[in-house]
Structure 1
């Protein structure tokens, strides 16, 4: 079971194990905001509720703006595993502006592509072969991308993740 950690200003920070969350609560470094109904955790000092969401008692400074690193898996996830050219199931990624022509490995230059479209396009731009992109590639935003561990979201976290988006 996983627990969402909120900064003192209710900004989502990460998702951790409920055991780690319980240790933070027991050491009074966090308070429980949402509990899991059901069986409590029994300890030497009594019973504790299983935390679904905790709030840190002190503000933790997050260094700089969180930039989502560009990964193959991230590009496929952003594009919904659909080819940006034909809309079929995508298994590869493609550089819109080919690397051989100075195209960067950036969110704005990478799209998901099926093998057929990727091979057909080759070392050309979409304009050169008369194709158009079905999506506008851009860096993903929102808590699902910047808060570690929220890929598999819990319904109890939704109100807290919406505030961060």
Structure 2
């Protein structure tokens, strides 16, 4: 389910500066537009439909009503990195496993920027990799190793679930 950001009156879609009040569902966002409570300021295409990704209230809201964005936290673990990447190597695309048929397909987690160079263990610096690719990359960046990173790592807390798979939020298309 995609989430729609709701901004207070005065949001600037070009600079994306404004007071974020909360997030809501696409269904509720359409209701807000229909009731003329909010206007769409950013749209995107999801499954052949144009849906709002950001709304601006038609009247300014003031006071202590403002809530946080309400992000859901996702437990961080190496297994969660494998799940996010669908148990596929980010470099060669092969399926990996905890109990593979051969040692080369053993599931490992690779730091894109190596730990020895200050690379953190964060969602955006870790990818699922087969043992063979992880060893080949060694203590280098993918560019230095001449390897193509086939996926862009992301924080699952900034994603939504579609058909049992976690997908990244779509790139916003401003209206």
Smaller-chain TM-score range?
0.3 to 0.5
* Higher Rg of the two aligned structures: 1
Taking structure 2 as the reference length, the TM-score comes to: 0.44
Taking structure 1 as the reference length, the TM-score comes to: 0.47
